[in-house]
Amino acid sequence: MKATIFGASGLLGKALMREWSGDDVLGLGSRDVDIRDPDKVREVVEQARPEWIVLAAAYTDVDGCESHPDLAFAVNRDGPVNVARAAKRIGAKLLFLSSDYVFDGKKTSPYETQDARNPQSVYGRSKAEAEVRLLDEVPECCIARTSWLFGTGGKCFPDTILKLAANRPALDVVNDQRGCPTYSVDLSRAIVELCRRNAGGIVHVNNAGDCTWFEFAREIVKGAGLATDVRPVSSQQMARPAPRPAYSVLSSKSLQQNGITMPTWQDALQRYLRERNTARG
C-alpha cells in the first residue's frame, strides 16, 4: 500500500512514521507543504499518488485558537478541504484526525459517533466544521476522533506533569474534566489497521477506560516513582482561555465494529514511561 501522511512531524505523525511498516509511506510536515495552499497540496498528492492519505496536520494549540480564530479555521477546516479535493482527484482514500472537543461535554455516558456535535471552543468548532465539509466532499472518508493524546517526541500532558513534578513538592490538577487518554503508539497502530480494513465513516479511537486529568496525573507521578503530592482542583481555579468539555469520554463501539480493541490507558501509560526513559537515555 502507498500512503501519505500530512502532519508527519507532529506528536502523532512521528509515531505513525515509526509504527507504519511494510508499506510505502511518505511523511510531510508543514515545511514540505502548507495545507492552506490548495495548488501545492494538489501537486504533492498528484506526485505521490497514494492509496491512503492520513491527515494529522492541524493547529492544535487549543488556547491559541481562541486568540487566532482565522488561523484555526484556515488550517483546521479549509486545509483539510484542500486535501480532500486533492484526494478525490486521484481517487485516494482519506482518514482525517478529529477531536473529542467537537462535543459540548454535557453527556454523562460515552459519546457515540452519531451524537450531535456542539463544540464550545474555536478549536472544537474548526474541527467540527471540517468534519461536515469533508463528509460533504468525500462521503466515504474515515473520520477518526481521538482525545487527550500523549507520546514521546512532542509536548504532552504526562511530559509536562513529569517535568513539573521533578521540581515541585505538590501539583494542582483539574478533577472536573473526564476523558480518555490516548497513546500515540496505540492510535498509530489503530490508524494503520483502519486503512488496511478500508474503514469509512466516523470512528472513535482512544485507549480503553477514562479518568480526570487529576487521576491521570496521579497515575503518571506514581508510575514514575515520584513522591510529588497531586491535589485535585476545579477548572474554575485553573481558568484557561478555551473552554474544555467537562465530559468527553468516547465510546469504543465504533472501533470494535471495525474489529479493533485498544489497550487500557493505564497499560499505555506504563509503555509511554518506558519509551520516555529509553529516549532520554
Ligand X SMILES: NC(=O)c1ccc[n+]([C@@H]2O[C@H](COP(=O)([O-])OP(=O)(O)OC[C@H]3O[C@@H](n4cnc5c(N)ncnc54)[C@H](OP(=O)(O)O)[C@@H]3O)[C@@H](O)[C@H]2O)c1
Kindly state the smallest distance separating residue 170's Cβ from ligand X, in Å. 25
Q: Is 30 a binder of ligand X (CB under 6 A)?
A: yes
Among candidate residues 59, 101, 111, 123, the one labeled active-site is: 123
CA distance 205 to 201: 13
Taking CB under 6 A as the criterion, the residue among 45, 54, 58, 180 binding ligand X is: 58
Determine which residue in the list 4, 9, 121, 228 makes contact with ligand X, applying CB under 6 A: 9
Q: Does 94 bind ligand X (CB under 6 A)?
A: no
Residue 99 sits in the site that holds ligand X (CB under 6 A) = yes
Q: Which of 38, 64, 154, 263 binds ligand X (CB under 6 A)?
A: 154
For residue 10, state whether it binds ligand X (rule: CB under 6 A): yes
Is 123 marked active-site? Answer: yes
- Cα-Cα-Cα-Cα dihedral sign, residues 244, 249, 253, 256: positive
In the complex, minimum distance from the CB of residue 97 to ligand X, in angstroms, rounded to a whole number: 4
Counting other chains too, the contacts that 254-257 makes at CB distance below 8 Å and 24 or more residues apart are 254/112, 254/113, 254/201, 254/202, 254/203, 254/204, 255/190, 255/203, 255/204, 255/205
Task: Answer yes or no whether residue 179 interacts with ligand X by CB under 6 A.
Answer: no
Q: Return left, alpha or beta for 82; rule: phi > 0 is left, psi -120 to 50 is alpha, else beta.
A: alpha
Question: Quick one: which of 60, 222, 76 has its CA closest to 148?
Answer: 60
Q: Which of 138, 142, 149, 246 binds ligand X (CB under 6 A)?
A: 149
56 binds ligand X (CB under 6 A): yes
Nearest residue relative to ligand X (C-beta): 10
CB of 34 vs ligand X, minimal distance in Å:
4
- Considering the rule CB under 6 A, would residue 272 count as an interface residue with ligand X? no
Shortest distance, CB of residue 103 to ligand X, whole angstroms? 12
Rounded distance, CA 51 to CA 2, Å? 5
Question: How many C-beta atoms surround the C-beta of residue 23 within 10 A?
Answer: 14
- Between strands 201-204 and 149-150, the pairing is unpaired
Strand order across the 93-99 sheet: 24-28, 2-6, 52-55, 93-99, 142-146, 201-204
What gap in Å lies between CA 260 and CA 253, rounded to an integer?
A: 10
Q: Is 12 in the site for ligand X (CB under 6 A)?
A: yes
Residues recognised as catalytic? 123
**Residues lying near ligand X in the complex (CB under 6 A):** 6-13, 29-31, 34-36, 56-60, 75, 79, 97, 99, 146-149, 154
